[in-house]
Structure 1
Amino acid sequence: MAKKDSPRSAADPARGRLSTPTDLGGNAVKDIAAAMNVLLADTFALFFKTKNFHWHVSGPHFRDYHLLLDDQSAEILATTDDMAERVRKLGGQTLKSPDQVVKMSRIAPNEADYVEPADMLAELMEDNRAQVAALRAAHDICDEHGDVATASLIENWIDAAEKRIWFLYETLRPAQSGGH
């Protein structure tokens, strides 16, 4: 574990009016808040992309895909508040505008007029895989600073993203013939 820098207190004038007392050092708060804000931007972008595909899916599996993507988008959106509030609990500041989401997110948008349903699912599967990798990297930062609370939340978000990947993967698999 890395050497801890000195804990920051609410009396530290550099922290401003939004300070929150924590036993984590200033570098820990800075590093973890930065990682979490990028995750938050990615999560908002993944939510919007999933919802976009939910709104624009078509074809013979419309109902199944429409419901799957609606469920997944709701699950993704539900994590955003916990992410942002964790940053605030540490005394950091979080995203304040959609512009910050656009600037910080690593999830590429898809603004095509039409996307084949299977391509939608495959793209979302890859985006969720990228999200898992980013979550694991953020977990490593938390581990470096001894932030078990944020790491614990991240572990749950990894599990949820892996479940989304699993559902997307299974939905994309070709039907097996012969009843096996």
Structure 2
Amino acid sequence: MTSKDNSTGALIDSLNGLLADTFALYVKTKNFHWHVRGPQFHDLHLLFDTQATEIFALTDLLAERVRKLGGTTMTSIGAIAAKTQIADEDDTSLDAMAMVKQLLADNLSYVAKLREVKAAAGEAGDNATEGAVDDWTDQAEQRAWFLREIAA
């Protein structure tokens, strides 16, 4: 196996990790959309839905990058659960600010993962993935900014 094959394999693995994190972040954000309550209900309900929609839109783009590189993608909930770094949250009684703070931390973690993917793409000489990651990073940083301003 050549160095190019190794770096492409590492990029595919990194993209699949990001895909798993994307699905997990989507589910968590949608969960909070469904369960938020309190004085900020309306605004947070809408914000979480907007963010979840944006996150979900990335899943197909990520999977297609993996396939274009010759890899295979996530095939099941179990595969996603095994690969994600985003922690589940099953407590539906969390207050709204706890939800905001969790999503802020998760989106910041997601930005760090995006930077790992970008580095792997650079190592593999994959300019298309590097460029796409820049856009995805900007989206994640904007989500984090909105959440940080609410949590302030």
TM (norm. structure 2) is: 0.96
Q: Is the 8 A contact 1:29 1:92 kept in 2?
A: no
Partner residue of 1:48? Answer: 27
- Cα distance between partner residues in 2 of 1:65 and 1:135: 25
Do 1:47 and 1:76's aligned partners in 2 also have CA atoms closer than 8 Å?
yes
Gaps of 5+ in 1: 7-24, 174-180
Distance in 1, Cα, partners of 2:52 & 2:114: 18
> What amino acid sits opposite 1:44 in the alignment?
F
* Structure 2 Cα separation of the partners of residues 59 and 139 of structure 1: 39
Distance in 2 (CA, whole Å) between partners of 1:146 and 1:111 is 40
Per the normalisation by structure 1, the TM-score is 0.82
SS at match of 2:129: helix
Q: Secondary structure at the match of 2:75?
A: coil
Alignment partners' CA distance in 2, 1:113 and 1:43: 21
Q: What is residue 93 of structure 1 aligned with on the other side?
A: 72
> How far apart are 1:37 and its partner, in Å?
0.3
User: Is residue 50 of structure 2 the alignment partner of residue 66 of structure 1?
Assistant: no
User: How far off its partner does 1:26 sit?
Assistant: 2.1
What 5-or-longer segments of structure 2 have no aligned partner? none
Give distance in 2, aligned partners of 1:41 and 1:113: 22
Match of 1:77 in 2: 56
- What letter is aligned with 2:33? H
Q: Which has the higher helix share?
A: 2
Q: Report matched runs for 1:129-144 at 5 Å.
A: 129-144=108-123
Alpha-carbon contact 1:39-1:135 (below 8 Å) kept? yes
Task: Report the residue type matching 1:36 in the other structure.
Answer: L
Structure-1 residue corresponding to 2:97: 118
Aligned position for 1:18: none
The higher radius of gyration belongs to 1
User: How far does residue 86 in structure 1 lie from its aligned partner after superposition?
Assistant: 0.4
Superposition misfits of 4+ residues, deviation over 2 angstroms: none
- Could you tell me how far 1:42 is from its partner in structure 2? 0.4
Distance 1:138 1:64 in 2: 32
3-state SS of the aligned residue for 1:106? coil
Q: Secondary structure at the match of 1:110?
A: coil
Residue deviations 1:33-70 (CA, integer Å, cap 9, x gap): 10000000000000000000000000111100000000
Q: Distance in 2 between matches of 1:41 and 1:115?
A: 24
Secondary structure in structure 2 of the residue aligned to 1:96: coil
The residue type equivalent to 1:68 in the other structure is L
SS in 2 for 1:92: coil
